[in-house]
Amino acid sequence: MLIAMLQQQRAHVQRGISLWRTGWIGVAFAMCIVLLSGCQDDEPVPTVVEDIRFVQPANFPAPAYNFAANPVTNAGFELGRTLFYDGILSRDGSISCGSCHQQASGFTHHGHDVSHGIDDKLGTRNSPPVMNMAWQPVFMWDGGVHDLDLFPIAPIENPVEMDEKLENILRKLRSSPAYPGMFQRAFGSEEITTSRLLKALSQFMVMCVSSNSRYDSFVRGEGVQLTEPELRGRELFSHKCASCHSGELFTDFSFRNNGVSTATSKDKGRSIITLNAQDDYTFKVPSLRNVAVTSPYMHDGRFYTLDEVMDHYAGGVNDLPTLDPLLRSGAQTGIALTTEEKQLIITFLSTLTDDTFLRDKKLAAH
């Protein structure tokens, strides 16, 4: 015991000496650089400015993500972005996160009811947007994942999405020319671990913040005025839709059965996770930000236009035992909407399109 302690102490001392040595070598090296650069032009000393910062928009609530355990840095964000757009996360290199989460479509898979992943295999659900992830308490249509840091494992290991194992990804990253250096810059050493891989991806995803639509500028009093039809649409929306699509994120993150027919889809949604029959056919209420560009709609992408969505709520709601009570009034199901009202709501929803976000070069593949 004592011997072990002594050995440990000696190891500390030795490490101290080697650190001290490295320190001096470092200082000497730095002096050389200063001297050398001094001989050339008077270039300003480069300092790392963390221009990638998470900022809570003024009209948004506090985020749910634990930033203290994974503070966003330039290098971490860049690593996350590189990983997000790299097929290295899939079994054969063909599918990246960006394949099914395309920026111009609000990080969804435009035009695809369900996505085709590896080997063109089809999934069963519509690709949800990677947007305002920092505010989401749970992930996936059924809420099966409760932590953003654990989320990427699901598409990575899904046999019809990326069909890869974390273990293989770590091996590929370790033997790649660029990644060890990127992990070094992001996390202080070249070590590539599950945790670092996932935290880097989170750093990119939490920065995918959409908060600069015309609607946002309007509510924040930044000089944008909504048109008369948009304002009328907003009024209708607040009465007819905002019980579920509530708040500035346009969702209350609850799980509800919105009455889409189960004739073609056997997906039981939330109850797969809770094993509770009361949750049969319930799915997470999605945000409506950028909804005009994230077609198709519903958990299985069955509706290609917002008109179809309005028609569904107005007259196509299926009465199932777990239908959300808000979609039932006596024997009547659905939401009473005239043709004009439907159009006004759609007009309002288009004010939620955030071109700054959809075109932000910072979030695009580099």
Partner 1 sequence: MKINTIPVLTAIALFLLSFSCSEDNSPTSEFDPSEKGSLSVEFDNVVGNRNLQLGGQQNYTNAAGETFSVDIFDYYISNIILTDKNNNQYIVPQDSSYFLIQESERASQEITLHNIPAGNYTSITFTIGVDSLRNTMDVGRRTGALDPATGMYWAWNSGYIFLKLEGKSAQAPDDAGGKYRYHIGGFGGMTEPTINNIKTVTCSFGSSVATVRTAITPTIHMLADVMKLFNGSTTLSIAQNPTVMFAPFSVNIADNYSHMFNVDHIHND
Candidates 76-84, 96-104, 156-164, 230-238; binding stretch for partner 1 (CB under 8 A): 156-164
Distance CA 274, CA 27 (A): 59
- Which pair of tokens denotes residue 3? 């011997």
Taking phi over 0 as left and psi of -120 to 50 as alpha, with beta for the rest, 119 belongs to left
CA 328 to chain centre: 32
Residue 158 or 212 having the CB closest to partner 1? 158
- Binding to partner 1, residues 59-88 (CB under 8 A): 66, 69-70
Taking phi over 0 as left and psi of -120 to 50 as alpha, with beta for the rest, 269 belongs to left
CB of 73 to partner 1, least distance (A): 15
Distance CA 196, CA 201 (A): 9
Count of residues in contact with partner 1, rule CB under 8 A: 33
Q: Which amino acid is at 72?
A: V
Contact assessment for residue 349 and residue 306, using Cβ atoms and an 8 Å cutoff: yes
Contact assessment for residue 47 and residue 174, using Cβ atoms and an 8 Å cutoff: no
Residue 149 or 248 having the CB closest to partner 1? 149
Contact assessment for residue 261 and residue 317, using Cβ atoms and an 8 Å cutoff: no
Judged by CB under 8 A, does residue 277 bind partner 1? Answer: no
Encoded one letter per residue, x for contact with partner 1 by CB under 8 A and - for no contact, window 174-213 reads: -------------------xxx--xx--------------
CB of 131 to partner 1, least distance (A): 21
Candidates 16-24, 81-89, 139-147, 237-245; binding stretch for partner 1 (CB under 8 A): 139-147
CB of 173 to partner 1, least distance (A): 12
Query: Contact residues for partner 1 (CB under 8 A)?
Result: 1, 66, 69-70, 137-138, 140, 143-147, 149-150, 153-154, 156-158, 165-167, 170, 193-195, 198-199, 272-276
